[in-house]
Amino acid sequence: PNAYDRANGRTGSNLMVHGACSSSGCYSMTDAQIEQIYAFGRDAFQGGQTEFQIQAFPFRMTAANMARYRNDPNYEFWKMLKVGYDNFEVTKVPPKVDVCEKRYVFNQVAADGSTFNPTGACPATTQPDSLKSAINAYQSTYEAAFNGAVKASVPAPKPTIAGIKEASIVSDWSKRRARGERVPIEPPSLNPDGTVAETARMGRIDSPAGRKMAALDAEKAAKQKAEEQRLAAIEAAKAAKEAAKAQALAEKEAAKAQALAEKEAAKTAAEMPVATATAAPSDAAPAVETQAADAESTATRLKKKLLGMFGG
pLDDT in tens, 144-174: 999 999 888 666 666 555 666 777 888 888 8
Q: Give the burial class of 167: count Cβ atoms within 10 A of its Cβ; 0-12 exposed, 13-18 middle, 19 or more buried.
A: middle
Q: For 61-93, how does the pLDDT look when each residue is reduced to its tens digit (9 = 90+)?
A: 999 999 988 988 899 999 999 999 999 999 999
Measured distance CA(157)–CA(169) in Å, rounded:
22
Mean pLDDT confidence for 5-32: 79
Of the listed ranges 103-112, 131-140, 255-264, 272-281, the one predicted with least confidence: 272-281
Mean pLDDT confidence for 206-235: 91
Kindly give, in sequence order, each residue whose CB lies less than 8 Å from that of residue 228, ignoring residues fewer than 6 positions away: none
Residue 262 pLDDT > 90, yes or no? no
Residue 29 pLDDT > 70, yes or no? yes
pLDDT of residue 189: 80
pLDDT band at 111 (very low <50, low <70, confident <90, very high): confident
Closest C-alpha among 85, 89, 53 to residue 66: 85
User: Strand 27-28 vs strand 17-18: parallel, antiparallel, or unpaired?
Assistant: parallel
Q: For 168-207, how does the pLDDT look when each residue is reduced to its tens digit (9 = 90+)?
A: 888 888 888 888 899 998 888 878 788 888 889 999 988 8
Q: Which amino acid is at 250?
A: A
| % of the chain surpassing 90 pLDDT | 44
pLDDT of residue 300: 66
Mean pLDDT confidence for 260-273: 81
pLDDT of residue 273: 67
190-191-197 Cα angle (round to 5): 65
pLDDT of residue 46: 95
Residue 286 pLDDT > 80, yes or no? no
SS3 track for the chain: CCHHHHHCCCCCCCCCEECCCCCCCCEECCHHHHHHHHHHHHHHHHCCCCCCCCCCCCCCCCHHHHHHCCCCCCHHHHHHHHHHHHHHHHHCCCCCEEEECCEEEECCEECCCCCCCCCCCCCCEECCHHHHHHHHHHHHHHHHHHHHHHHCCCCCCCCCCCHHHHHHHHHHHHHHHHCCCCEECCCCEECCCCCEECCCCEECCCCHHHHHHHHHHHHHHHHHHHHHHHHHHHHHHHHHHHHHHHHHHHHHHHHHHHHHHHHHHHHHHHHCCCCCCCCCHHHHHHHHHHHHHHHHHHHHHHHHHHHHHCCC
Question: Computed from CA positions of residues 169, 170, 175, 178, in that sequence, does the dihedral angle turn out positive or negative?
Answer: positive
Spatial contact of 1 and 7, defined as CB atoms under 8 Å apart: no
What is the average pLDDT score of the chain? Answer: 84
Is the pLDDT higher at 155 or at 255?
255
| % of the chain surpassing 70 pLDDT | 81
Measured distance CA(252)–CA(15) in Å, rounded:
85
